[in-house]
Amino acid sequence: MRTTAQIAGTALAVITTALTLTACNDTTTSSSDSGNSARPVASAAAFPAAGHDAVQCGTGPWGLAVVASTTKGSDFCPTARAVAGAYADERAKQATGDIAVTVRTVRWVCRELAGDPNPYQECASQNESAERVRLQS
């Protein structure tokens, strides 16, 4: 009986270790992710998006540059700065996970993404997904 318990305990330890080591390099999120993940995720979308320009809109929250992917040129900068400001306000209330903000009746979803070498913040419009606002160093 004691040998069986020792074998079961050893097997459980091996399985737990294997699962832990497998999860160490996991940087993906699933669609069922509640948004409470603290780790940055990789961005799959090109910036700027095809047919869009990267427009420099000045300095935003945390002293980061505000850059927009848009077809509207510098006319989009007031919106980009408003999105960045709304995101910063909400981030102060929620330390991790995705954050949704609404600016001028448009919903934006914002998150931290892995960059090379530094992570950056990005908000994507829910009306026009190629229209995005980045906060970067």
Q: Which residue has the tokens 């910036």?
A: 47
CB-neighbour burial class of residue 93 (10 A; exposed 0-12, middle 13-18, buried 19+): exposed
pLDDT tens readout for residues 3-50:
444 433 333 333 333 333 333 333 333 333 344 444 444 445 788 999
Domain that holds residue 107: 53-136
Number of domains in the chain: 1
pLDDT tens readout for residues 57-74:
999 999 999 999 999 999
Pick from 72, 59, 35, 38: nearest CA to 134:
59
Is 63 a member of any domain?
A: yes
Is 18 a member of any domain?
A: no
pLDDT the model gives residue 27: 34
pLDDT tens readout for residues 76-106:
999 999 999 999 999 999 999 999 999 999 9
Is 72 a member of any domain?
A: yes
Is 8 a member of any domain?
A: no
Q: Is the pLDDT of residue 115 over 70?
A: yes
Is 42 a member of any domain?
A: no
Is 102 a member of any domain?
A: yes
Is 99 a member of any domain?
A: yes
